[in-house]
Amino acid sequence: MMIQRARSTAWLASLVALVGLLVGGSRLSADERFPPKVLAAFREVVALPMQSTVEIYREGNSSALALGAIVRADGYVVTKASELTGSLECRLYDRRQLPAAIVGVDVETDLAVLKIDAKDLPVIAWSESDSPPVGSWLVTPGVPATRRNRAPSGDDLNPLSVGVLSVGPRKIVHQPGALGISLAMTDSPATIEEVLDDSAAEKAGLKAGDIILKVDGVDTPDREKLVKTIGSHPPGDKIDLLIRRGSEELTLEATLGSRAKIFGGDDRAEFQNTLGDRKLSERRSGFPLAIQHDSVLTPQQCGGPILDLEGKAIGLNIARAGRVESFALPAALVQETVKKLLETHLTRAGSDEPAEENAPAASDAEPAPANER
Amino acid sequence: MRRRPDWTSAHPGRFSTRPLRWAAVALALLSGTHWWSSSAALAVDADAAPAVIAPTDAKAAVESAVSAETVSTMPTPAEIAREEAAKESLERLFGGATPGGLSDLRAMQDHVRQLTGQLVRTTVGVTVGNAQGSGVIISKDGYVLTAAHVASRPNRDVLFLLSDGRKLKGKTLGLNRSLDSGLMKIDGVDDLPFAEMGKIDGMKLGQWCLATGHPGGYQEDRQAVLRLGRVQWISNDKTIVTDCTLVGGDSGGPLFDMYGRVIGINSRIASDIKANMHVPVSTFSETWDRLTKAEAWGHYPGDTPYLGVKGAPEATNAQLTEVKPGSPAEKAKLEVGDIVLKFGDKEITDFKSLIDAVQETQPKDRVKITVQRGEETKELTITMGKID
């Protein structure tokens, strides 16, 4: 009789049963948790807001980068800035797919305003009340799939995802960014002792022995100042480094990584939050105010409106942040930021190009959050 | 019971923010086992230890839950009829019916909004050593249900982080590793908000439920985090599987039915977003005496201790008939024919008593074994292995 063998086998048997069940589950619905028949109960909620939701594509690509919300009838759309790359197009509810230009980016909220050449568009209706209480239903509309020769119908009209409000508005402090270097123990100057494998520093071309003089034009005369300056940027930020290597000075651009990822310690958290090969938004922290909800979204399903049961947008989905959490910026913050970006844009457009307010001045501009600091 | 301040009230930074320490939910990820049990409901008496009482009539509970929302003016017969219909429709919905449309969703939302304050108030963050997890208070004198892997061992110091900002001390009590249930007790209190323990009988697939906890560990600027979902699977008397999403730090937190009664304790996850596992609450009532006596028993799945010997179960001593090659027993130089006299501090009288002694160890434990080999008595030290 082998000690404990029988019990171990029982565990194994139940494990197999579990795997069998889960693999058999349906992944067809947009929402990974709720089946179409549950989502169908929310059709009335999304019927109108869907028409004010857009999908944003990189030109020539068939999968969307993000969602967006129409904020002005003359072709202005708000979305999540850091997901945008390359020449952009917006796909509308009415099946049109139009070129879009970035006309403003706000780094703090990670919002971008786009301009498309269209008019008389249905504008998203924002909720005028404060954040709904914890436990409220929240509904994320998508844009119905384009099908040849027929209007969207049936499950096309379901929301993308639904969930409840998990935590009311709070500030989401950003995770510190990191280069992935270790510094020499001398205080000054800030000298690189080692460049970690596969780190932001390595990708930027930094080498052991390099002295970092400036970060984005700010002097970094010693260790402390350098560590502080780098840590004030979130992961994903691009920074310019002025370095001295031997007798020459060089400028290198680095895209910061996550401190947790580089130095370990949060491996288990990272593992669990991305379990099942699920992707999280690259920029998922560092928001002045955000509502947390439990809707299961992909990073590409962020950037669009999130609704209460009245069909009013209570905010804009801004990040998929973990297995249990999605973040949305509250409606008031989104409206305020959009207003600010539009004022800046229109003033500039007014002085530079008085004839045409909505000219796609930078038609293939990349969003450049780091450079706007 | 004295009312605690509303949970929404801000509590200025009493705790320093610290790097997240994750309770070991990972063990679950590796093994992904599951359990489920059904038994009578357990209710908690305010002062005494919880006692098993007759299950609450579901309908009565619905009535009390719903009537709490209604205004106490004299209702007309039409209003009464409408109210009855609303109650029945809520009950049907919570039992797993698909919401038919906006009016069903609104009714659910009104109900959940009203419930959440209580759910959040009774959910606590717990810190044991450098592990962080969650728990739920089930009596005003501070019994807290949690997961075994959060408690880790009996009689450890625990710091409880309450939703009103209080930081209270206490101890871990008993734990059953094989089901991942654990009990803790907050010291020196008798005024805590607490959740009622629910019943497992009659639970249905598709039934709606709510989970709370502190994902990623307690954060002072964030209340316990609410999730809504449905029961996906009830397995084999051992596990409730729901699509209330969980992650490290949620371990030990409660799963509630739609009337705010604890029906499970958050335990572990698998990669499917709908595979979030909870310990059924019934096991706590079934093992309450052992838990309050701070006993620890069972083994985590994948963590069954292994010695690697065989003996004759009917023999009057623990003489070894086989030593498995490569096993911990062989490495410790145990030999066929050895009679085990002592295992750790346990006297061994037959092979059965050796099995029992082995079961009380954990893999990697170092144990002293006394054996009789021919005329000689030898003492050996073994490092316990585990069954793969």
Which residues in chain A touch residue B113, judged by CB atoms under 8 angstroms apart? 133-136
Q: Residue A179 contacts by C-beta under 8 Å, 6 or more apart in sequence?
A: A199, A200, A201, A204, A206, A230, A254, A256, A257
Domain ranges of chain A: 39-143+153-173+287-372, 177-262
Closest CA to B113 of A308, A135, A167: A135
Closest CA to B117 of B228, B33, B226: B226
More confident residue, B28 or A45: A45
Out of B98, B113, B245, closest to residue A323 by CB? B245
Which residues in chain B touch residue A18, judged by CB atoms under 8 angstroms apart? 32-34, 235, 241, 270, 275
pLDDT tens digit sequence for B183-220 = 999 999 999 999 999 988 888 899 999 999 999 899 98
The superfamily (CATH) of domain A177-262 is: PDZ domain (2.30.42.10)
Out of B33, B109, B324, closest to residue A137 by CB? B109
Q: Which CATH architecture has domain B1-70+80-302?
A: Beta Barrel (2.40)
Report, as ranges of residue numbers, the positions in chain A whose pLDDT lies below 70: 1-30, 147-149, 259-268, 351-373
User: Residues 253-272, chain A: which have Cβ within 8 Å of B?
Assistant: 265-266, 268-269, 271-272
pLDDT tens digit sequence for A89-103 = 999 999 899 999 999
Out of A3, A17, A294, closest to residue B227 by CB? A294
Name the token pair of B49. Answer: 């230890």
pLDDT tens digit sequence for B282-291 = 999 999 999 9
Contact assignment for A21 to B233 by CB distance below 8 Å: yes
pLDDT tens digit sequence for B235-284 = 867 899 999 999 999 999 999 999 999 999 999 999 899 999 999 999 99
Counted across chains A and B, CB pairs separated by less than 8 A come out at 182
Q: Are strands B167-176 and B296-297 parallel, antiparallel or unpaired?
A: parallel
Note whether A324 contacts B: Cβ–Cβ < 8 A. yes
Query: How far is the C-alpha of B177 from the C-alpha of B180, rounded, in Å?
Result: 5
Give ∠ CA A38-A42-A43 in degrees, rounded to 5: 115
Q: Enter the CATH code of domain A39-143+153-173+287-372.
A: 2.40.10.120
**Cβ proximity of B174 and B183 under 8 Å:** yes
Contact assignment for A324 to B274 by CB distance below 8 Å: no
Contact assignment for A41 to B104 by CB distance below 8 Å: yes
Q: Which residue of B has its CA nearest to A15?
A: B33
The mean pLDDT of B359-376, rounded to a whole number, is: 91
Which residues in chain A touch residue B355, judged by CB atoms under 8 angstroms apart? 1, 3-4
Cis peptide before B5 (omega within 30 of 0): no
Query: How far is the C-alpha of B322 from the C-alpha of B351, rounded, in Å?
Result: 12
Q: Which residue of B has its CA nearest to A259?
A: B19
- pLDDT of B7 above 80: no
Q: Which residue of B has its CA nearest to A22?
A: B272
Query: How far is the C-alpha of A137 from the C-alpha of A35, rounded, in Å?
Result: 16
Out of A135, A268, A278, closest to residue B26 by CB? A268
Sign of CA dihedral A232, A234, A238, A244: positive
User: Residues 282-321, chain A: which have Cβ within 8 Å of B?
Assistant: 292, 294, 296, 309
- pLDDT of B39 above 50: no
The mean pLDDT of B349-364, rounded to a whole number, is: 89
Query: How far is the C-alpha of B35 from the C-alpha of B24, rounded, in Å?
Result: 18
Q: What is the pLDDT of residue A78?
A: 98
DSSP strands (E only) in B28-103: 42-43, 51-52
Sort A282 into a burial class: Cβ within 10 Å, 0-12 / 13-18 / 19+. Answer: middle
Which residues in chain A touch residue B299, judged by CB atoms under 8 angstroms apart? 7
The mean pLDDT of B130-149, rounded to a whole number, is: 95
pLDDT tens digit sequence for B75-90 = 788 888 888 888 888 9
Q: What is the pLDDT of residue B206?
A: 93
Which part of chain B is CATH 2.40.10.120? Answer: 1-70+80-302
Contact assignment for A3 to B274 by CB distance below 8 Å: no
Out of A11, A42, A271, closest to residue B33 by CB? A11
Helices (H), chain A: 5-23, 36-39, 43-46, 200-204, 223-231, 259-263, 267-273, 331-352
Q: What is the pLDDT of residue A148?
A: 67
Mutual orientation of helices B77-94 and B58-67 as an angle, nearest 10°? 120
Note whether A205 contacts B: Cβ–Cβ < 8 A. no
Contact assignment for A14 to B236 by CB distance below 8 Å: yes
**Which residue bears the tokens 């402390």?**
A224
- pLDDT of B46 above 60: no
SS3 A215: strand
More confident residue, B23 or B262: B262
Query: How far is the C-alpha of B358 from the C-alpha of B384, rounded, in Å?
Result: 9
Closest CA to A164 of A140, A133, A141, A138: A138
Q: Which residue of A has its CA nearest to B352?
A: A3
A276: closest CA of chain B, how far (Å) = 4
Mutate which: A22, A23, A139, vs B, most B CBs within 10 A: A22
* Secondary structure (DSSP) of A114-137: EEES--SPPPP-B--SSPPPTT-E
Q: Residue A300 contacts by C-beta under 8 Å, 6 or more apart in sequence?
A: A63, A64, A65, A66, A67, A83
Name the token pair of B291. Answer: 């838990």
SS3 B208: strand
- pLDDT of B43 above 80: no
Q: Any idea how long chain A is?
A: 373
Which residues in chain A touch residue B23, judged by CB atoms under 8 angstroms apart? none
The mean pLDDT of B92-115, rounded to a whole number, is: 94
Contact assignment for A135 to B8 by CB distance below 8 Å: no
Mean pLDDT of chain B: 82
Out of A42, A171, A269, closest to residue B105 by CB? A42
SS3 B198: coil
- pLDDT of B63 above 60: no
Q: Enter the CATH code of domain B305-386.
A: 2.30.42.10
pLDDT tens digit sequence for B105-132 = 999 999 999 999 999 999 999 999 878 8
Q: What is the pLDDT of residue A153?
A: 83
